């Protein structure tokens, strides 16, 4: 086992302290919101009103929280070390930037999903019991797509979280304006922009307890993997301080 693999526990600890704690604050706010929305809702009976309302609230919360958790997890993953100069001592050791930050990307993804699980556990306690697999998968897909994009942005820009969020929101807006009849340029724009619509469709299916369509899942996974791959190749090929 090499030094970089052994270093994973320190990276996991950094995630917990630097990103896990603020994530927990946001999660607590979501719990509070869920508790407010569901207080007084009747439980039990053939049509369990409370469970139905909880499912609705969860469907509203998971995409929003997925966005926040992914952004918290990926923010400054490369750019913070580059800006501060902390990379100098780290990369003086026998370790490649691609391996170091690639491992951080993977661990932060795991951390984001764990944070999602914490949210779901609390939600089950304050709102209603739920089946967590679909929502957890949604959190994972969110991280793969938005996190992959953020990882790529972090290798090229300093204000990576802002540029990632802007690209994400901009993508949603541009997609809503694309013409219905498929012209060649709108097909290009559709492929180039992050597949936010495919993520939403896959997420809706997962939260409903169904399997997402293969096309949606493939687009999300493919785009996220391509973005993360771009980041790794850039870290591998381009001098870190250029």
Which candidate, 71, 61, 62, 59, places its Cα nearest to that of 166? 71
Give whole-number Cα distances, 19 to 58, 66, 71, 76, 232, in Å: 23, 14, 10, 11, 22
Is 44 a binding residue for other proteins by CB under 8 A? The answer is no
Query: Rounded to an integer, what distance in angstroms lies between the CA atom of residue 7 and that of residue 152?
Result: 22
Q: Please say which residue, 1 or 177, places its beta carbon nearer to other proteins.
A: 1
Structure tokens at 86: 């902390």
Q: Please say which residue, 4 or 130, places its beta carbon nearer to other proteins.
A: 4
Query: Rounded to an integer, what distance in angstroms lies between the CA atom of residue 77 and that of residue 110?
Result: 14
The CB-of-241 to other proteins minimum distance in angstroms stands at 4
User: Which residues 179-238 are close enough to bind other proteins by CB under 8 A?
Assistant: none
The CB-of-176 to other proteins minimum distance in angstroms stands at 33
Residues binding other proteins: number (CB under 8 A): 25
User: Which residues 81-120 are close enough to bind other proteins by CB under 8 A?
Assistant: 84-96
Q: From its phi and psi, is residue 47 left (phi > 0), alpha (psi between -120 and 50) or beta?
A: beta
The CB-of-9 to other proteins minimum distance in angstroms stands at 9
Binding mask 131-170 for other proteins (x = CB under 8 A): ----------------------------------------
């Amino acid at each position: 086992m090499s030094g970089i693999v052994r270093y994973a526990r320190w990276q996991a600890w950094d995630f917990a302290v630097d990103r896990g704690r603020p994530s927990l604050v946001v999660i607590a706010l979501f719990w509070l919101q869920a508790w407010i929305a569901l207080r007084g809702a009747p439980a039990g009976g053939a049509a369990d009103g409370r469970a139905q309302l909880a499912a609705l609230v969860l469907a509203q919360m998971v995409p929003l929280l997925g966005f926040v958790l992914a952004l918290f997890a990926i923010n400054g993953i490369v750019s913070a070390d580059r800006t501060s100069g902390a990379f100098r001592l780290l990369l003086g050791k026998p370790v490649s930037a691609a391996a170091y930050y690639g491992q951080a990307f993977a661990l932060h993804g795991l951390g984001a999903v764990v944070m999602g699980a914490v949210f779901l556990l609390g939600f089950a306690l304050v709102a209603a019991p739920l089946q967590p697999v679909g929502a957890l998968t949604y959190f994972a897909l969110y991280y793969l797509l938005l996190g992959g994009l953020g990882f790529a942005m972090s290798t090229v820009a300093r204000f990576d979280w802002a540029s990632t969020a802007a690209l994400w929101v901009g993508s949603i807006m541009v997609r809503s304006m694309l013409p219905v009849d498929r012209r060649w340029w709108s097909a290009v724009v559709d492929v180039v922009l992050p597949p936010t619509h495919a993520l939403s469709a896959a997420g809706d299916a997962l939260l409903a307890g169904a399997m997402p369509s293969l096309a949606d899942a493939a687009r999300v996974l493919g785009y996220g993997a391509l973005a993360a791959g771009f980041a790794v190749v850039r870290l591998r090929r381009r001098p870190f301080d250029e």
